[in-house]
Amino acid sequence: MEKMSSVLYDNCHPSLIPQTEEDREFFSIIVDHETKISEVMRNTDWTATCLGPFSDWPRALKSALSISQASSFPVNITWGEDQISLYNDAYCEMVWGKEAKFFAEPVKNMWPEGYEDPNFGPLLRGVMKTGKNASRNNIRWVVVNKGGDTLTERFFSSSYTPIFLRSNTVGGIFCQLLETTDRVISERRMKAIQQIQIQGLGINIPIEYFQFLEKFFKTECTDDVSYMCLYSIDQEQLRCVTRTSDHIPKEIRWDDPAFKDITQCIQRGSGIVSMANFNLPKSGFWSAPSTANVFILTLPKTKKYLLLLGHAPLSIADSTRDDFVSLMCSRIELMMVNVFSRAEEAREIQTLTDMDKAKNLFLASLSHEMRTPLTPSSYLPKPFEMIFNFLKAFEKASR
């Protein structure tokens, strides 16, 4: 270990070289690793920071760093009034591609857009001021994904523990994170699927169900589905029956080359398409043309619809997202089958009711004619017209 450390001394900035035996022990625990953060620490000029050289660091800070660097959980130590960030390798996923840029920098430089959020900057200042620990559950963070090219949402539960100096004052905060992304998103999606079933109950008219879908996806499911459109499939084109964005076209012709990928999905029965040709507005976290899942819904009497569910910009493209949109689609298809079946049943009942009324009117008129044969024909109902109406209603019901 002594030989390895001496080699590392030659490869690190002079401000980090330990001066005492105790510092050498801390050095071996904190820096003597082949990790990203260890390399960043060795290359940092600590005299240019508020901490100064390694030998001047408080023992409480060195002890906290020895714990954080050995932890497999994301840990960020914010130190001093400037709240500089000293994080471990597990925390690097939070600042993918910028590990060296933000290390030993004020935490507000790392998260400028969210520092004043009550669950972040004010909370850190409160712990520094009062010396009381704090915790938060399932806080949403928007971070760069591991590839470094897109933003994604992730959820963390965190604890904030004050680090006390020998003077019994707070020198910094030990923040440890526990990721809860999978559980939070899974619960949120299952709730959305349950709500679309519960809220859709009792709707018996197709147009009302279309209006319900538009309202639901505008208000209830925006974190997972950015937009929704439902098209009826005709011989020459797709006709929109409901949509959540006016930028989505009302009609798409089969021969339109701009939407060739959608027509191909119709032939396959499902698929994922780019929404670049839909000219959707880009704002907030929109950084690239969004994608959408396409499903073909088959209803009674061979009626078909195309359901388009757009992926939320911050959603992670994985199998869980595909499973969610597939399950959401199957629920919508089942509900639509039930709505259309109930509407058809209501029409049949109304037709039979009309036939029964026509029959009763015809028999009543015929009976009246037989009882009063001397009644002038101009005052009698027209029996042949009644027979025609009755037969017409019967023919309509037979269809």
pLDDT digits (tens, 9 = 90+) for 364-378: 776 665 665 544 444
- Of residues 148 and 103, the one with the higher pLDDT is 103
Residues 211-228: tens digit of each pLDDT: 999 999 999 888 899 889
pLDDT at residue 369, rounded to an integer = 59
Q: Above 80 in pLDDT, residue 31?
A: yes
Q: How far is CA 237 from CA 198, 241, 252, 253, 259, in A?
A: 33, 13, 5, 4, 11
Q: How far is CA 105 from CA 23, 108, 168, in A?
A: 23, 8, 25
pLDDT at residue 261, rounded to an integer = 83
Range 243-259 average pLDDT: 84
pLDDT at residue 97, rounded to an integer = 66
Residues 114-142: tens digit of each pLDDT: 888 888 999 999 999 999 999 999 999 88
Q: Please state, as a whole number, how many other Cβ atoms lie within 10 Å of the Cβ of residue 66.
A: 16
Q: Please state, as a whole number, how many other Cβ atoms lie within 10 Å of the Cβ of residue 329.
A: 18
Residues 145-168: tens digit of each pLDDT: 766 667 788 899 999 999 999 999
pLDDT at residue 395, rounded to an integer = 60
Least confident interval from 151-165, 231-245, 306-320, 360-374: 360-374
CA angle 268, 273, 275 (to 5 degrees): 150
Q: At what angle do helices 21-30 and 59-70 cross, to 10 degrees?
A: 30
Q: Which residues contact 51 (CB under 8 A, 6 or more apart)?
A: 57, 61, 79, 80, 84, 104
pLDDT at residue 388, rounded to an integer = 57
Half-sphere exposure of 5 (CA within 13 A, CB side): 16
Q: Which residues contact 31 (CB under 8 A, 6 or more apart)?
A: 8, 12, 16, 38, 41, 42
Take residue 16 and report the two structure tokens written for it.
């980090």
Please, which residues bridge with residue 197 across strands? none
Q: Above 90 in pLDDT, residue 319?
A: no
DSSP string, 61-73: HHHHHHHHHH-SS
Take residue 240 and report the two structure tokens written for it.
């929109």
CATH class of 2-178: alpha beta
pLDDT at residue 257, rounded to an integer = 81
pLDDT band at 194 (very low <50, low <70, confident <90, very high): very high
Beginning with the edge strand found earlier in the chain, give each strand of the sheet holding 291-298 in spatial order.
251-253, 237-243, 225-233, 304-311, 291-298, 270-274
Least confident interval from 90-99, 207-216, 292-301: 90-99
Q: Above 50 in pLDDT, residue 52?
A: yes
Q: Above 50 in pLDDT, residue 287?
A: no
Mean pLDDT of the residues in the chain: 83
Q: Above 60 in pLDDT, residue 89?
A: yes
Place of tokens 């989505």: 248
Distance (Å, whole) CA 123 – CA 333 = 46
- The second-level CATH assignment, the architecture, of 184-343 is 2-Layer Sandwich (3.30)
